[in-house]
């Protein structure tokens, strides 16, 4: 039985990414995650509200790197490689 209704290429990774980022920012409703597929990889682009990008990136990028690590681990369950980019709204 195929699941052709699922249009998100990495549903577990996307859900984990949304949950983690929304728990960090001041305005969780402004968080959006878009995806695009590339060379054997799924690119997840996170947009956050004004002023929240610094919270997501953290000091010296440590928070962003930790988020990427967790999301890549979740993506292994989806069977895909992911790359996460953080963008300011």
- Residue 17 included in any domain: no
Q: How far apart are CA 8 and CA 14, in angstroms?
A: 8
- Residue 6 included in any domain: no
What range defines the domain where residue 64 resides?
26-88
Whole-structure pTM value:
0.87
Q: How far apart are CA 48 and CA 37, in angstroms?
A: 21
- Residue 80 included in any domain: yes
Give the domain CATH number at 36: 3.30.300.20
- Residue 4 included in any domain: no
Q: Which residue has the tokens 């990774």?
A: 13
CB atoms within 10 A of CB 56: 19
pLDDT digits (tens, 9 = 90+) for 36-82: 888 889 999 999 998 999 999 999 999 999 999 999 999 999 899 99
pLDDT at 88: 73
Q: Count the domains in the chain.
A: 1
- Residue 8 included in any domain: no
């Amino acid at each position: 039985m195929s699941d052709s209704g699922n249009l998100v290429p990495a549903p577990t990774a996307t859900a984990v990414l949304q949950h983690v980022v929304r728990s960090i920012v001041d305005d969780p409703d402004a968080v959006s995650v878009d995806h695009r597929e590339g060379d054997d990889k799924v690119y997840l682009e996170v947009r956050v509200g004004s002023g929240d990008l610094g919270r997501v990136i953290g000091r010296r990028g440590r928070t962003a790197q930790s988020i990427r690590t967790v999301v890549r681990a979740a993506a292994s369950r989806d069977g895909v490689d992911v790359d996460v980019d953080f963008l300011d709204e």
